[in-house]
Amino acid sequence: MEGVSLSEAGRDQARQLAACLAGRSIAAVVSSPLERARQTAEPIAAAVGLEVAIDPGLNEIDFGAWTGQAFRDLDGLPEWDAWNSFRSTARCPGGETMLQAQGRALATVSRLREAHQDGEVVLVGHQDVLKAVLAHFLAVPLDLLQRIALDPARRAVVTLLPADVRVDGLNLPPYIPA
């Protein structure tokens, strides 16, 4: 939700990611509009000499009535259990489905692919939204989304080819081995 910023550990992780990507030929750094994502993207963009572009397609899932609630408060609710079992069809009360979140994020990826056909783009967003994009490229059903690991401040590397896609790495640490 809005107003949640990175902890000092999170800011340190963002600096590590920036150091990892410094010197690469990055065409764009694109972030969710939420504060913690922007705070992650800013050092990365600075390290590669760019400004952060904000794209609402990378925004967190609209959790509707669940926004700001602790998992322990949702535990045991039938809607919460359905959300965690059937991501492909469950809807957050007053919010969106995982399929809707995936669709908007993939629309962003498609626009960025057109705008930067030969360039490397860094996307900074939220775990489940980014995992939904990866699920699409890996042909993993949304109901199995939790099988994809993407921890905070970790990287996934996806190469969009003219007629295909290649997932080159998942849940990679913030460094690139020499």
**DSSP codes joined into one string, 59-122:** SPP--GGGTT--HHHHTT-HHHHHHHH-TTT-B-TTS-BHHHHHHHHHHHHHHHHHHTTTSEEE
What is the CATH number for 50?
A: 3.40.50.1240
Identify whether the C-beta of residue 13 lies closer than 8 Å to the C-beta of residue 43.
no
Q: What's the pLDDT score for residue 42?
A: 97
% of the chain at pLDDT higher than 70: 98
What is the helix, strand, coil percentage profile of the chain, to 5? Answer: 45, 15, 40
Task: Answer whether residue 153 is part of any domain.
Answer: yes
* 149-176 pLDDT per residue, tens: 999 889 999 999 989 999 999 999 887 6
Q: What is the mean pLDDT of residues 109-127?
A: 96
Indicate whether 94 pLDDT > 60.
Answer: yes
pTM of the prediction? 0.93
Indicate whether 135 pLDDT > 90.
Answer: yes
Number of domains in the chain: 1
Q: What's the pLDDT score for residue 148?
A: 96
Give the residue numbers spanning the domain of 40: 8-61+97-172
Task: Answer whether residue 75 is part of any domain.
Answer: no
Indicate whether 1 pLDDT > 70.
Answer: no
Indicate whether 2 pLDDT > 80.
Answer: no
Give the three-class secondary structure for 134. helix
Task: Answer whether residue 126 is part of any domain.
Answer: yes
Task: Answer whether residue 81 is part of any domain.
Answer: no
Task: Answer whether residue 87 is part of any domain.
Answer: no
